[in-house]
Structure 1
Amino acid sequence: MISSPQRFGLALALTVATLVSAPARAGLAIQNWTTPNGARVFFVESRALPILDVQVDFRAAGTEVPAGKAGLAGLTQGLLDAGAGSLDEEAIANRVADLGAQIGGGADMDRASLTLRTLSSPTERDGAVDLLATLIGQPTYPAAAVEREKARTIAGLREAATQPDAILARRFASAVFPDHAYGRLPTEESVASLTRDELAEFHRRYYTAARATVSIVGDVSRAEAEAIASRLVAGLPAGEAPVPGGAATLPERQTIRVPHPSAQAHIAVGQPGIRRGDPDFFPLFVGNYILGGGGFVSRLTGEVREKRGYAYSVYSYFAPQREVGPFQIGLQTKGSQADDALKVVGTTLDEFLAKGPTEAELRAAQDNLINGFALRLDSNRKMLEQVAAIGSFGLPLDYLDTWRDRVRAVTALQIRDAFRRHVKPEHMVTVVVGGDGDKTAAPKNGATR
C-alpha cells in the first residue's frame, strides 16, 4: 500500500460534508476507449460531488513474479512514493498534503493498483494527476527506502507466522495452488533476496501502457477524462500485451493439521473454483449465498451454528480471479469440536451438491441480492471499484446493467449443475490450524502434516 497521507484538504472535507451522494442508478453508463499508446480507459461521469476518483491497474502483480521472488510485485508498487522524478519521499508527502488529495493502492496476485481521490477543480485536479503520473512513470527506488521496506515486510511476516489466521491463509493457498503463482506467497527468504535493481527492472518491464487499465469516475467531462488518462500514461513505454497465464491443476484431497496453542481451531476447506467471467458465475454466486454466503440465512450457518453451536460464524465464498480463484468454506471452533464440525460441513456440502437449493431458498436469495444491489453503487468509490473490475478483467460494459436480471434468471437446476461442475469433493483440501489448547484427545481423522 502506498504510504501517502490518507486525508483530504479542508476544502474537500467541508464540501463533502454539505452534499449527499446521488441515488444509485440501475447500472453505470461506462464509456470506453484506448489511449494512443495502448492503455484501456473506462470512464463514468458523475456530477453529484466535486470529486474525481481514479484507479490505474497494471498487470504487474504476483502472477508475473519469478519463482523464489515472491514479494517483488508488492514492494515494487509500495515504493512508488518513496521517490519519483525530482521528488524525494518527503516532497511527495508534502505535495499530497498541499493538494488535499488521497493517493493509495496495493498489489495482489492479479493487479498492481494506484488510486487517486481529489477535488475536481482544475488546480487541485491537475496537480494531483501530474503527481500520480510522476509516481507511476518515474519511480527512483532509493536504496535506503528499499532496505527499510524489506525489513518492515520481513518483520510483518515474522509476526504473521505466529497468528493462526495468517498461518491458515498461507497453508491453504499453497495446498490449493501447489503448482501455480497463486500459491506462492512472500517468505522471509524471498523478500530478503530482493534488490533495488530487481524492483526497477520489474517496473520497467511491467508498468507499461499495454498492461494498464485506467478507470475514472467523477465530476469531469469526456474530454477532460481523455486528457487525464493520456497524462497518466504518457510517460510509459507502450510495451507488449500480456499473455494468458497457466491454469491451476486440481489438488489431491487431503487434510493438513498445523499445531498451534490457540484454543480455537481455525479451519479452511476448499479448492480452485472459477475465474472472472466464467459463464457459471451467476448460478454459483446465487447458490453460494444459499450455501454459506448469506450469513444467518445460509445452510452452513443453520447446520453448524444454529443447530449445533459449533461456531459463531461459518461462511463460504467463490473468489474469482484472472485465473481460477478459490472456493473456500471457513470457520473457527473449539479444538475438541473440530472433527465434528468438519463432518457437519461435509454433510451439508454433499447434500447441496446432490440436490441443490429449494425453490423457497432460491427466491429468498434472489430477493436479498437484488434488493441489496444499490449498495454496490452508492458512492463514487464503490462505482470506481466496479468500473475497475470490469476494465481489468474484461467483463462486458453492461455487466452492472444486466446484473439484477441475471440474478433473477438463475434456476435451482442451474445452481445444482454449476456446483457439480466446479466443486469436486475428491479434490477438496482441508486445513486446520490450532485448537491444541482445547483438545482433550488426538485428532480422529485426517492426515497430519
Structure 2
Amino acid sequence: MKRFVLALGLMLGATVAHAEIDIQEVQSPKGFKAWLVEDHAIPFVALELRFKGGASLDEVGKRGASNLMIGLLEEGAGDLDARGFAEQSEAIAAQFGYSISDDAVQISAKYLTEKKDESIALLRASLNDPTFDQASVDRVRQQILTSLRSDKTDPDQIARNAFSAQVFGDHPYGSDYAGTVDSVQALTRDDVVTAWRNALAQDRAYVAAAGDITAEELGEVMDLLLSDLPETGAPLPERVEVETTARVTVLPFETPQSVALFGHRGLPRDHPDFFAAYVMNTIFGEGGFESRLMTEVREKRGLTYGVYSYLLPKDHAELLIGQVASANDRISEAVDVIRDEWAKLAENGVTQAELTQAQTYLTGAYALRFDGNGPIAKILVGMQMDGLTPQYINTRNDRINAVTLEDIKRVAAEIIKPDELTFVVVGDPKGLDGGIIH
C-alpha cells in the first residue's frame, strides 16, 4: 500500500483552513485496486465505482440498451422489488446513484459507517443480482421514451445530436446514448441483460473511497462487490479521427432564438501540451465572464446571455467545442464574432495579463474542489480513469503556473483551426445560410 500526502489550503470566505489529503493506493485480497482517503472525523463513507466503456458498448441496432440497463439497477435486486429496494435504502439512510456516459458507467454510494454491512449488501445486489423484471423494464422504458420525445422539441438537444452525427458519423459517439424512440421501443429484457454483462466487468472497474473506512475494509468491500462480476467486458469501440471543415449547418426550427454548437478536433488528455491548451481555453472560452468569448459576444455586443468553449477529451476522440444562443436576427453576427476570435487566437495567442489572471484563477480554485468525502472520491476515481497518479494533485498547480506565453502561442497555432471550425445552428436564423465557409 502506497501513500501520498498533500496539504491543501481550503479557502472558506475570508478564512483559510488546512486539510491534509492522504491518498492510499489499496489492493484487495483478490487483486482489485482502489484509491482511498481515510477520514474518521465523521462516521460516513463515500464510495465511487466506474466501469470503462459505458454507452459506447451498445451493440449494433441496440442503441439505448446500456442507458436502460443503468436505469434498472435500483429497480429491484435480489429478493427486493423496486419499492423494497427504495424502502430499505431509505431505512438505513444509504444513497445510491447510477448514471452513464459515452465512456463509463458511474455508480456512487454514500452510507453511514454503522450501516455499512446493510449498505454494501444492497449495492452488491444491485450490481450482481438485478432482477430486470419486465414490469420495471417497461416502466423505465416509458420514462426514457418520454424524455426522448421531449428532446425532439429541445433546440439544445437537437443541436447536440446533429453536431455529434456530423462529427462522429456511425461511431457510437455519433448518436445519443439514450437511443431513439424506435431503438428503445424495440429493446427487450434480453438486450438489457446483455448490456449489463457487457458493461459491468472486473477488467474495467475503477474504485475510490473517502471517509470512515480503512484500507483493509475497502479491500473487503471491493471483493464483495466485484469478484462475482464477469472477468471481461465487451470490446471497446475503435478510435475515431475527427475531421471537419469550416461550414455552417442550419436546421430549421421554430423558436425565438437560435442555438449554435461549434468546434473541431481537440487534444488528448495525455498530450504533453494539454495543460497549455487547458489554460488557453480558460482564457478563451471557459473562464466565465472574464473569457474572451464572453467579453466579445456578450459584454461588447449584447448578442447572448452566455457563450463558452471547452476541451472534450473522450476515450476514443477529442474535441474543442463550444455553444452559444442568440436571437434569430443576431445569431449570424454571433457566429461571425466567434469565427473572428477563433482566428485571432490562432494567430496571436494571448496576453501576459490574460495568462496571469487565468493561472491565478485556476490554481486558487483547485483546492475548493476537495470540499467533502463525496467530491474527493469522485476526483480520485476520475484521476484513475484519466491515467493520472496520486502525485498529480501535488504537481497540478505547478504545471498550470509553468505554462508560458510562448507555450500558448505555439499550441494555439497548432490546435486552433479556423479552416476546420464547423457550426450547427438550430432555429430560424436570419441572414445565416448553411454551407461551406470560404
TM-score normalised by structure 1 residue count? 0.88
SS in 2 for 1:67: coil
Partners of 1:53 and 1:217 within 8 A in 2: yes
Matching of residue 426 in structure 1 with residue 398 in structure 2: no
Residue 31 of structure 1, CA deviation: 2.1
In 1: Cα distance, 2:204 partner to 2:235 partner: 7
In 2: Cα distance, 1:293 partner to 1:274 partner: 16
Matching of residue 302 in structure 1 with residue 295 in structure 2: yes
Residue 417 of structure 1, CA deviation: 2.2
AA aligned to 1:142 is D
In 1: Cα distance, 2:186 partner to 2:301 partner: 49
Specify the alignment match of 1:289 in structure 2. 282
Residue 427 of structure 1, CA deviation: 2.5
Residue 289 of structure 1, CA deviation: 0.9
Specify the alignment match of 1:220 in structure 2. 213
Partners of 2:250 and 2:433 within 8 A in 1: no
Specify the alignment match of 1:443 in structure 2. 432
Specify the alignment match of 1:350 in structure 2. 343
Specify the alignment match of 1:409 in structure 2. 402
Partners of 1:167 and 1:433 within 8 A in 2: yes
In 1: Cα distance, 2:204 partner to 2:414 partner: 32
Partners of 2:56 and 2:236 within 8 A in 1: no
Matching of residue 166 in structure 1 with residue 157 in structure 2: yes
Specify the alignment match of 1:182 in structure 2. 173
Matching of residue 103 in structure 1 with residue 96 in structure 2: yes
Partners of 1:106 and 1:114 within 8 A in 2: yes
C-alpha spacing 1:239/1:219, structure 2 compared with 1 (3 Å): same
C-alpha spacing 1:255/1:37, structure 2 compared with 1 (3 Å): farther
Partners of 2:105 and 2:199 within 8 A in 1: no
Residue 169 of structure 1, CA deviation: 1.5
Q: Which deviates further from its counterpart, 269-278 or 242-251?
A: 242-251
Specify the alignment match of 1:206 in structure 2. 199
Specify the alignment match of 2:10 in structure 1. none
Structure 2: runs of 5 or more not aligned: 1-15
In 2: Cα distance, 1:433 partner to 1:241 partner: 36
Residue 83 of structure 1, CA deviation: 1.8
Partners of 1:55 and 1:116 within 8 A in 2: yes
Aligned match for 1:134, one of 103, 108, 125: 125
Deviation per CA, 1:4-35: give whole Å up to 9, x if none.
xxxxxxxxxxxxxxxxxx94647x43222444
Residue 242 of structure 1, CA deviation: 5.8
Aligned match for 1:153, one of 141, 144, 156: 144
Residue 365 of structure 1, CA deviation: 0.6
Residue 428 of structure 1, CA deviation: 2.2
C-alpha spacing 1:24/1:310, structure 2 compared with 1 (3 Å): farther
C-alpha spacing 1:95/1:366, structure 2 compared with 1 (3 Å): same
Matching of residue 374 in structure 1 with residue 367 in structure 2: yes
CA RMSD of aligned residues (A): 2.1
SS in 1 for 2:330: helix
C-alpha spacing 1:288/1:66, structure 2 compared with 1 (3 Å): same
AA aligned to 2:125 is T
In 1: Cα distance, 2:359 partner to 2:23 partner: 25
Specify the alignment match of 2:272 in structure 1. 279
Specify the alignment match of 1:325 in structure 2. 318
Partners of 1:37 and 1:209 within 8 A in 2: no
Specify the alignment match of 1:196 in structure 2. 189
**1:79-98 equivalence runs, <5 A:** 79-98=72-91
Matching of residue 31 in structure 1 with residue 24 in structure 2: yes
SS in 2 for 1:319: strand
In 2: Cα distance, 1:308 partner to 1:235 partner: 59
Deviation per CA, 1:263-320: give whole Å up to 9, x if none.
1111111123233333222111111111011111111111111211111211111122
Partners of 1:276 and 1:323 within 8 A in 2: no
In 2: Cα distance, 1:392 partner to 1:445 partner: 39
Partners of 1:24 and 1:378 within 8 A in 2: no
SS in 1 for 2:102: coil
AA aligned to 1:169 is R
In 1: Cα distance, 2:285 partner to 2:193 partner: 43
Deviation per CA, 1:153-175: give whole Å up to 9, x if none.
11111111101111112112212
SS in 2 for 1:336: coil
SS in 2 for 1:443: coil
Deviation per CA, 1:344-365: give whole Å up to 9, x if none.
1111111011111111110111
Residue 38 of structure 1, CA deviation: 5.1
In 1: Cα distance, 2:43 partner to 2:413 partner: 48
Matching of residue 250 in structure 1 with residue 243 in structure 2: yes
Of all paired residues, the percent bearing the same amino acid is 32
Partners of 2:48 and 2:109 within 8 A in 1: yes
**1:57-76 equivalence runs, <5 A:** 57-76=50-69
Residue 230 of structure 1, CA deviation: 1.6
Residue 94 of structure 1, CA deviation: 1.2
Structure 1: runs of 5 or more not aligned: 1-21
TM-score normalised by structure 2 residue count? 0.90
Residue 208 of structure 1, CA deviation: 1.5
C-alpha spacing 1:343/1:293, structure 2 compared with 1 (3 Å): same
C-alpha spacing 1:291/1:167, structure 2 compared with 1 (3 Å): same
Partners of 1:31 and 1:42 within 8 A in 2: yes
AA aligned to 1:136 is L
Partners of 1:38 and 1:209 within 8 A in 2: no
In 1: Cα distance, 2:204 partner to 2:31 partner: 8
SS in 1 for 2:322: strand
Specify the alignment match of 2:391 in structure 1. 398
AA aligned to 2:273 is D
SS in 2 for 1:310: coil
Residue 254 of structure 1, CA deviation: 2.7
In 2: Cα distance, 1:25 partner to 1:319 partner: 31
Deviation per CA, 1:201-257: give whole Å up to 9, x if none.
221233111121121111111111211222211322322696574233323433111
In 1: Cα distance, 2:110 partner to 2:211 partner: 10
Aligned residues: 420
In 1: Cα distance, 2:66 partner to 2:227 partner: 22
C-alpha spacing 1:70/1:420, structure 2 compared with 1 (3 Å): farther
Specify the alignment match of 2:8 in structure 1. none
